[in-house]
């Protein structure tokens, strides 16, 4: 059924207004066009092209080897499929730490080449000069505090942060610094829920939690986790909304079995030859029968001609 109120693209002011209106912000990661199109058709406010792609797409143990070019590649895939959700793109490790100039240049690349509407970077006080410069250039910045995955080696693993009073106090102060530096939102990852609730209450900008409890102003999860695509990954903070690993394995096994038994492709997936005029007239004049045309038949399409930009159709007219 069509929406009664037409949807509009989600903007940074819309995201900030969610906090004033008490409406939680929904953020989901995406890295390709197929899944972005699905997420964008649902009520997702922000699609995050996260550097978590180092793990869920590239199969690495952490995010540290992800490059700016990797982020641009995936951001472009996502951008092509996006119509409504706001697109935030992660600044990968060492793309903003070396100097403010480098940070500005890389944030600019994510916008100009990747189509980012905002960028996200990790860290508190040390990230403030880069955040101020990027914001001053007109690029909205989302901060990220707590279990910042780019500091995995410094933390000695992916461990809940700010459990002790000193670290919690530091995080409280750094959240305020990020707000003052111009961030429009802050991800709070892997921290005690009580701390996340307090920090959220102390800020005018929304906090978006992952492993930080329900007191944040929004939530983010990695898409693969929401869909249950890796059934060996079961952290406490993830809720799986589907068990697609089973579904996908079932489909792949059925496909393999049908290829081996020759049940696939069936007649309905198979093209027939079509006689050309030339071969028809040849056969009607009795001058020897041709074997017919070599052109493939066009399979039926759903009717509409490319109803949405960038959508796949079957083969074009032959």
- The residues annotated with a catalytic role in the active site are 189
**Is 50 among the residues that bind ligand KIV (CB under 6 A)?**
yes
Q: Please pick, from the candidates 15, 36, 44, 51, the single residue that binds ligand KIV as defined by CB under 6 A.
A: 51
Based on the shown chain and the rule CB under 6 A, indicate whether residue 77 belongs to the binding site for ligand KIV.
no
Q: Is 198 exposed, middle or buried, given 0-12, 13-18 or 19+ CB atoms closer than 10 A?
A: middle
Is 90 among the residues that bind ligand KIV (CB under 6 A)?
yes
29 near ligand KIV (CB under 6 A): yes
Q: Within 10 A of 31 (CB to CB), how many other CB atoms are there? A: 26
Determine if 82 is a binding residue for ligand KIV (CB under 6 A). no
Name the minimum Å distance from CB 102 to ligand KIV.
20
CA pair distance 55, 49, nearest whole angstrom: 13
CA dist 316 and 313 (Å) reads 8
Taking a C-beta distance cutoff of 8 angstroms, is the pair 216, 209 a contact? yes
**Cα dist. 213→190, 216, 220, 285, 295 in Å?**
9, 7, 11, 81, 60
Q: Which is nearer to ligand KIV, 7 or 103 (CB)?
A: 103
If one asks whether residue 186 binds ligand KIV (CB under 6 A), the answer comes out as: no
187 binds ligand KIV (CB under 6 A): yes
Helices (H) and strands (E) in the chain, counts: 12, 8
> Binding residue for ligand KIV (CB under 6 A) from 36, 52, 197, 219?
52
Q: Which is nearer to ligand KIV, 45 or 90 (CB)?
A: 90
Task: Name the segment binding ligand KIV (CB under 6 A); options: 44-52, 242-250, 292-300, 310-318.
Answer: 44-52
Q: Closest Cα to residue 120, out of 148, 145, 143, 98?
A: 143
Measured at CB, which residue is nearest to ligand KIV? Answer: 50
Q: Where do runs of H (alpha helix) occur along the chain?
A: 12-21, 33-40, 53-56, 68-81, 100-112, 128-136, 152-155, 165-181, 193-202, 223-227, 244-261, 277-284
Check residue 209 for interaction with ligand KIV (CB under 6 A): no
Residue 55 CB, nearest approach to ligand KIV (Å): 8
CB 46 → ligand KIV: shortest distance, Å?
10
210 near ligand KIV (CB under 6 A):
yes
Q: How far apart are CA 83 and CA 197, in angstroms?
A: 32
Q: Enumerate the β-bridge partners of residue 28.
A: 47, 221
Judged by CB under 6 A, how many residues of this single chain contact ligand KIV?
11
Task: Indicate which single residue of 222, 227, 229, 244 sits in contact with ligand KIV (rule: CB under 6 A).
Answer: 222
Task: Please report how close the Cβ of residue 243 comes to ligand KIV at its closest, in angstroms.
Answer: 21
Per CB under 6 A, residues contacting ligand KIV are 29, 48, 50-52, 90, 187, 189, 210, 220, 222
């Amino acid at each position: 059924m069509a929406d009664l109120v037409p949807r509009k693209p989600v903007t940074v002011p819309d995201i900030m207004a969610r906090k004033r209106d008490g409406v939680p912000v929904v953020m989901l990661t995406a890295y390709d066009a197929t899944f972005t199109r699905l997420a964008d058709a649902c009520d997702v406010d922000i699609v995050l092209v996260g550097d978590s792609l180092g793990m869920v797409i590239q199969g690495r143990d952490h995010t540290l080897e992800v490059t700016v070019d990797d982020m641009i590649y995936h951001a472009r895939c996502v951008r092509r499929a996006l119509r409504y959700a706001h697109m935030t793109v992660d600044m990968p490790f060492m793309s903003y730490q070396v100097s403010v100039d480098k940070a500005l240049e890389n944030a600019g690349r994510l916008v100009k080449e990747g189509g980012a509407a905002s960028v996200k970077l990790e860290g508190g006080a040390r990230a403030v000069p880069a955040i101020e410069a990027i914001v001053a250039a007109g690029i909205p910045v989302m901060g990220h505090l707590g279990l910042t995955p780019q500091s995995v080696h410094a933390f000695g693993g992916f461990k809940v942060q700010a459990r002790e009073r000193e670290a919690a106090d530091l995080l409280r102060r750094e959240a305020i610094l990020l707000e003052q530096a111009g961030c429009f939102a802050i991800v709070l990852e892997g921290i005690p829920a009580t701390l996340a609730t307090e920090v959220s209450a102390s800020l005018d900008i929304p906090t978006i939690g992952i492993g930080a409890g329900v007191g944040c102003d929004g939530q983010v999860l990695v898409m693969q986790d929401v869909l249950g695509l890796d059934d060996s990954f079961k952290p406490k903070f993830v809720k799986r909304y589907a068990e697609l690993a089973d579904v996908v394995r079932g489909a792949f096994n059925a496909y393999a079995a049908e290829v081996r038994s020759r049940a696939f492709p069936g007649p309905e997936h198979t093209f027939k030859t079509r006689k050309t005029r030339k071969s028809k007239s040849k056969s009607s004049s009795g001058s020897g029968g041709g074997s017919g045309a070599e052109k493939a038949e066009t399979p039926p399409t759903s009717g509409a001609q490319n109803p949405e930009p960038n959508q796949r159709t079957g083969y074009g007219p032959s």
